[in-house]
A = this chain, B = another copy of it.
Amino acid sequence: MAHAHPPQGAEPRWLSDEERQAWIGLVALMTVLPPTIEAPLRQGHQFMLFEYHALAMLSESPERTLPLKALARLTNGSLSRLSHVLDRLETRGLLMRRPSTQDGRVTEAVLTDAGFAALAEAAPCHVATVRQLVIDVLTPDQVDQLADITGAVLGRLGLDIPGADTGRTQG
């Protein structure tokens, strides 16, 4: 194929067979894995993956509390998406919203006892799924490689690499 495209100078660098294989595989993974990982969580615990992660992030935070902005960063979601999701979780009694006492613009999400209990009940199911479908399918070397690879790509995207704790400022 001969392509012509203004912003591109000349002929683009197409992917090699190896590169193509990696990219096609990654696309397939990104398409299929999320709904598959989510299925047991939905059926057994009425949680979407994003909801579960939001609750998980809260559970690991001081006072089980986080400003929405911080929670949005940790879950890689938009503030708008988070707000909609918190509506649902709040209705279910799994968390509460309250204005920050320090800054009136800030809303804090607080995990309730019921929310913590629901999360604790769902966690073993979720971890088992992650092991079955991903972690236990890989060698320990591959697990490390995957961490490096995701870290490199996320770094390119300018994201904080989650888990690589280099000392976060509070809030």
Q: Is the CB of A124 within 8 A of B8?
A: yes
Judge whether B19 and A77 touch: CB under 8 Å. no
A144 within 8 A of B: yes
Min CB distance, A114 to chain B, in Å?
16
A105 partner residues in chain B, CB cutoff 8 A:
none
In the assembly, how many copies of this chain are there? 2
Contact of A161 with B25 in the complex, beta carbons under 8 Å: yes
The residue of chain B having its C-beta at the shortest distance from the C-beta of A29 within the complex is B150
Chain A residues within CB distance 8 Å of chain B: 1, 3-5, 7-8, 12-15, 18-34, 36, 49, 53, 75-77, 120-121, 123-125, 127-128, 130-135, 137-138, 140, 142-157, 159, 161-164
